[in-house]
Chain A
Amino acid sequence: MSLGVPDATAPGAGADRVRRVSGLATVLRRIVRSTTGRTGLVIVVFVVGASLLAPVLAPYDARVDRDFDSVRQPPSLEHPFGTDELGRDTLTRVWHGGRISLRVGLVAVGLAASVGSLLGLMAGYFGGRFDLAVGWLVDILLAFPGILLAIAIVATLGPNLTNALLAISITQVPIYVRITRSVVLGLRESEYVQAARALGSRTPRVMFGHVLPNSLSPIVVQVTLSVGVAILDVAALGFLGLGAQPPIPEWGLLIREGYRQASRAPWLSLFPGLAIFVSVVGFNLLGDAIRDALDPRLRRA
């Protein structure tokens, strides 16, 4: 890949690519330059990196490795986060838990963003009855505040991690429909879209080649901001016993298990909560920074 070098066979596309790449570089530079962006980036890289490397650096099985000789030990050099009622090392459990909580959060948001922006793209582009139907669906989903719909869905489908993921994903679809639709409505009448249509491009090509790429920025911003919400929601469902089930070391479930022994072993609920807090702060800071970088007009004067 020769990024940034114009492709001679397709002059238009090449020039477009140059602009987009340098745009990406500008955005990255802006993010790294702001304090919030730097902090968020460091945190996100740290938690994601640590989770990816967990099997290499913390090579215990977080579900079964137990040691009945050191049960409920407070934090020490050997066990920095203490141990639980089965003598399992809390640091290992929290560390491996990151793989689950972050992955579920990211997948839930990815799913919601794909489905939501596709629906929004079609609703905005086609308009008419389809738009009305999608708008109705969105209004209904938005009538269930916060985590309520996810709880209702999981309560009926049965409590497990997959259903929790799906339920959280469904609650996040409406926001992507709305964002994409409103951007597409503006783009639909823009000159380059009309030009593409006049040149005889087929509808899918106009939609996915011209309209969608140009409405990506607000979607990207929303994705970063909703990852934090998704991580919190996954944890809340896990804590209520409606998400991950033991012995999975999901963060919310870890807090649920630690909560029962909070007076004897407060570290069991403290550290997974801190892990959630730090990760969500990271994604929120990064999201704010990306928003500012992508659209300086949105920056609060």
Chain B
Amino acid sequence: MTTYAAKRVLSLLPVLLGISVLVFTIARVVPADPALLMLGERATPEARAELRQQMGLDQPLFFNVAAVRESANPLALFDSQYFAFVGALLRGDLGRSYFTRSDVLDSLLQRFPATIELTLAAMTFAVLLGVPAGVLAALRRGRTADTVVLFVALSGVSLPVFWLAIILINLFAVNLGWLPSTGRLDLILSLDFEPVTGLYVFDALLQGKPRVALSALEHLVLPGITLGTIPMAVVVRMTRSAMLEALGQDYVRTAEAKGLGARRVVSKHALRNALPPVVTVVGLSFGSLLSGAILTETMFAWPGIGRWVYDAINARDYPIVQGGVLLVAVVFVVVNLLVDLSYAVIDPRIQYS
């Protein structure tokens, strides 16, 4: 197991390298000149050239062949934009916003808890609705309940998420007025609330402010459902098929033959064995939730990284776009690795070679 884990961690390195090359390349093929964006159109060409030099944009992209020829120092090969980028990356420096000059990594980490809280809400929705629905469909296989559940699951992966958001906002926020549709907290409550971890519900409960916690929860409902719809559909399908498989196993028949009640057979014997693939699917859906957050956060004015990156795209603030994409990709790869490694914990039958 340890060897396997070490191997998997090592195999991440080339992928991380590739991610850095790809993100770097994407950010550098931008037709716009950063110096022009930062200084405006009225800056003199000299000022722009100076800024470009300061930012290292006059260096070659990947390998500095000319410098090697001049100085005969093979290490000069790495005096390039890409290696400067990676060097900064290793120091935890993702650059600064073109316009506000704020540190990209700081700003990202500041907004990350909002995205995490939304993601957790979406996963909770997906699991709380998806697992029971999947179990029900498996138990009532081929009957009306099964058909209904399968149709809901099919709809979940066939709906445009942003369209669902519009309908939810119109129905529950605008027409019925039951739930808020923007932000994380009622403005009035946010005045005397100092978040610690950035997960508002958790912070509010910790500080003994039930009204704040309730307001934060209310704000989570609509965006949580929006973001959680696709994973819900995936969880339903996976639970249903895993349950069907488990229900057909000998040990379930044995349990039934022993005279155990149906409820006990389903919960203790079938469901427990059907859960590992479901847990896997939930873990793997974490990444798609992070990228789905761009749409959801934009719709609900949710102050997380998704909306921030979207705003940065429109403002052509490329360091933010680059940093946000990089962060999501790295988190996604690491989470997938953890899910992979946790197989062994969830299911001891799995042997690693």
Interface residues in chain A, defined as those with a beta carbon under 8 Å from any beta carbon in chain B: 136-137, 139-140, 143-149, 151-153, 155-158, 228, 232, 235-236, 239-242, 252, 255, 259, 262-263, 266, 269-270, 273, 276-277, 280-281, 284-285, 300-301
Q: Select the stretch in B89-97, B182-190, B201-209, B285-293 that faces chain A.
A: B285-293
B294 within 8 A of A: yes
Rounded to whole Å, the gap between the CB of A278 and the closest CB of chain B is: 9
**Shortest 10 CB-CB distances between A and B: which pairs?**
A145-B287, A140-B18, A273-B163, A146-B291, A148-B291, A280-B158, A146-B288, A155-B313, A145-B291, A281-B158
**A148 and B328 in contact (CB under 8 A), knowing A240-B298, A276-B160?**
yes
Give Cα distance in the complex from A146 to B157, angstroms: 13
B154 within 8 A of A: yes
**B159 contacts A277, C-beta separation under 8 Å:** yes
**A273 contacts B15, C-beta separation under 8 Å:** no
Give Cα distance in the complex from A300 to B142, angstroms: 12
**A300 contacts B241, C-beta separation under 8 Å:** yes
Q: Please give the number of chain B residues whose Cβ is less than 8 angstroms from any Cβ of chain A in the complex.
A: 47
Query: In the complex, what residues of B have CB within 8 A of residue A240's CB?
Result: 294-295, 298, 310
CB-CB contacts below 8 Å: B24-62 with A: 26-27, 29-31
Query: In the complex, what residues of A have CB within 8 A of residue B155's CB?
Result: 277, 281
**B27 contacts A156, C-beta separation under 8 Å:** yes
Grouping DSSP codes into helix (H, G, I), strand (E, B) and loop, the B interface class, with mixed when no group exceeds half, is helix
Rounded to whole Å, the gap between the CB of A109 and the closest CB of chain B is: 16
CB-CB contacts below 8 Å: B1-31 with A: 14-15, 18-19, 22-23, 26-27, 29-31
Grouping DSSP codes into helix (H, G, I), strand (E, B) and loop, the A interface class, with mixed when no group exceeds half, is helix
B325 within 8 A of A: yes
Q: Which residue of B lies closest to A282 (CB)?
A: B158
B162 within 8 A of A: yes
**A285 contacts B18, C-beta separation under 8 Å:** no
**A255 contacts B22, C-beta separation under 8 Å:** no
Rounded to whole Å, the gap between the CB of A268 and the closest CB of chain B is: 10
Rounded to whole Å, the gap between the CB of A148 and the closest CB of chain B is: 4
**B160 contacts A236, C-beta separation under 8 Å:** yes
